[in-house]
């Protein structure tokens, strides 16, 4: 099976994203897709997330990254069938295809819950260097399991920064300080926000008394190494339940 065949089997068509959505993503480097998850799905995913955080304890997130002030999880591909939507939804896959071309794969599927009084990140890009506009290596999707607000640590983004031929590390004296033209993504739970991962972004401070939950379905071009090499981690029970097309997305 080719990637084109896999994407077609998973429901991706030329019009899965509208022309306006593609244009917005091209121009701004991000795109909210409301209503991808139902309220029941959001509740199920949050419950499973809390269950896994409690079970994994101090080891939570260690497969990829641990971060003070957050509850991190990694390798969600193997941590419940309910997470399968995060690498098979046609609208999200269509966005990845639009940014990266048809030859892409998932790099990792992780989660981040910013805890009360925590979660502030410096502005960053998810690639080590600046790139030429249009020559993109990575693209991310944030699956909102909480309403994102200015109060609870929602992600901030600098629209159009993916086209600026600059990396924030090279030009920002204080990445945690406000950046000109930044905006905070305020969307409802169930939304998926697509991020061209070369776009400058970062989590803000959660000043509420509840965690702010998001999952990260991170994708890369097929010629790049995955953040979590799926072939090394895939469990037999996971592999056996997945379609051939879903296995193609994981590169297993």
- Per-position b or e across 100-125, b if 16+ CB within 10 A of its CB: beeebbbbbbbbbbbebebbbbebbb
Query: Domain extents for the chain?
Result: 3-250
C-alpha distance across the termini of the chain, in Å: 12
Which stretch of DSSP H or E encloses residue 221?
strand 212-221
Q: What whole-number distance in Å separates Cα of residue 41 and Cα of residue 126?
A: 28
Architecture of domain 3-250: Sandwich (2.60)
Instruction: List, in sequence order, every residue forming a beta bridge with 33; answer none if it has no partner.
Output: 192
Whole-model pTM? 0.96
pLDDT, average across residues 240-245: 98
pLDDT in tens, 65-122: 899 999 999 999 999 999 999 999 999 999 999 999 999 999 999 999 999 999 999 9
Please tell me the predicted confidence (pLDDT) of residue 211.
96
Instruction: List, in sequence order, every residue forming a beta bridge with 125; answer none if it has no partner.
Output: none
Please tell me the predicted confidence (pLDDT) of residue 201.
96
pLDDT in tens, 19-71: 999 999 999 999 999 999 999 999 999 999 999 999 999 999 999 989 999 99
Please tell me the predicted confidence (pLDDT) of residue 205.
95
- Indicate the burial class of 59 (C-beta count within 10 angstroms; 0-12, 13-18, 19 or more): exposed
pLDDT in tens, 162-191: 999 999 999 999 999 999 999 999 999 999
């Amino acid at each position: 099976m080719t990637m084109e065949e896999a994407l077609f089997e998973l429901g991706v068509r030329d019009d899965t994203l509208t022309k306006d959505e593609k244009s917005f993503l091209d121009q701004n480097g991000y795109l909210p897709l409301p209503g991808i998850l139902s309220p029941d799905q959001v509740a199920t995913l949050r419950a499973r997330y809390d269950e896994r955080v409690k079970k994994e304890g101090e080891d939570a997130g260690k497969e990829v990254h641990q971060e003070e002030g957050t509850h991190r999880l990694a390798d969600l591909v193997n941590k419940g069938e309910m997470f399968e939507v995060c690498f098979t939804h046609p609208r999200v896959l269509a966005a990845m295809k639009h940014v990266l071309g048809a030859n892409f794969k998932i790099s990792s599927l992780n989660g981040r819950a910013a805890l009360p009084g925590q979660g502030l990140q410096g502005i960053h890009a998810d690639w080590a260097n600046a790139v030429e506009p249009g020559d993109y290596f990575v693209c991310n999707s944030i699956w909102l399991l909480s309403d994102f607000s200015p109060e609870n640590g929602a992600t901030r983004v600098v629209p159009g920064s993916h086209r600026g031929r600059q990396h924030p590390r090279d030009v920002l004296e204080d990445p945690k300080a406000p950046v000109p033209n930044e905006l905070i993504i305020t969307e409802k739970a169930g939304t998926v926000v697509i991020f061209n991962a070369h776009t400058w972004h970062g989590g803000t401070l959660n000043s509420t008394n509840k965690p702010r939950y998001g999952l990260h379905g991170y994708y890369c071009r097929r010629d790049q190494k995955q953040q979590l090499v799926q072939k090394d981690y895939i469990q037999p029970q996971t592999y056996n339940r997945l379609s051939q097309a879903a296995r193609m997305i994981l590169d297993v």
